[in-house]
Amino acid sequence: MASSTRSSQGIPNHGGHDHFWFRTLSRREFLGATAGAAGGLATSSLFMPSLVFAGDRVATVAPKPIPGGVAPFGIPIHHFPPVPTLGPTAINEPSQITDFNGFVGITRVRGTGTGTDLATGMTSQLNFQVDNGFMDGVYVGEDGNVHRGTFAFV
């Protein structure tokens, strides 16, 4: 598998700095903490993708976030990372949206690539860590109605 071949090639594969994800919040804690931190959350929303072609089926009603989450850097977010496992089951809630019924995928994956400064043409090797996923199914949107939609967790 890719993981076994690459981790032995000297690529930085640091696994010890995930501690900022560890503290989970109950729903009550989350709601209280969120009220205090709301001003710190980004207000921008890029809900719609940049390219939508005629005929594509793209959700137009925003879904709602899952009720719980973790608090990296003490900042509560509606998200559970794929690792570490927080219990009680072997898998943390992989969906970012609630009132959802459908397919879901989540990952933490690492690797390497090349960054290019487009002004100078200079290149450099960069390492990546990506927590991505998808949700594809039906959901109750912010409008209270059931919709079908496909979403990327980026």
Partner 1 sequence: MDLYQGTVGVLSNQRHDFSPGIPKSGLFWTQAIPQDNVSVHFGAGTATVSAHDLMEEDAGNVLNALQGGATTPASVSFDMHWTATSEQMHLTDPVHGFTGDFFISDLTIEWSARKADFLFTSDPADTSINVRSFLGRERNGVFFSEAD
Under rule CB under 8 A, residue 73 binds partner 1:
yes
Under rule CB under 8 A, residue 22 binds partner 1:
no
Cβ atoms within 10 Å, residue 149: 20
Under rule CB under 8 A, residue 14 binds partner 1:
yes
Instruction: Choose between 36 and 87: whose C-beta lies nearer to partner 1.
Output: 87
Q: In the Cβ-directed half-sphere of 95, how many Cα atoms lie within 13 Å?
A: 19
Placement of tokens 């039906």 in the chain: 138
Site for partner 1 in 80-119 (CB under 8 A): 80, 82-83, 87-119
Under rule CB under 8 A, residue 25 binds partner 1:
no
Among 56, 57, 69, residue whose Cα is nearest residue 96:
69
* Smallest separation (angstroms) from partner 1 to the CB of 36: 13
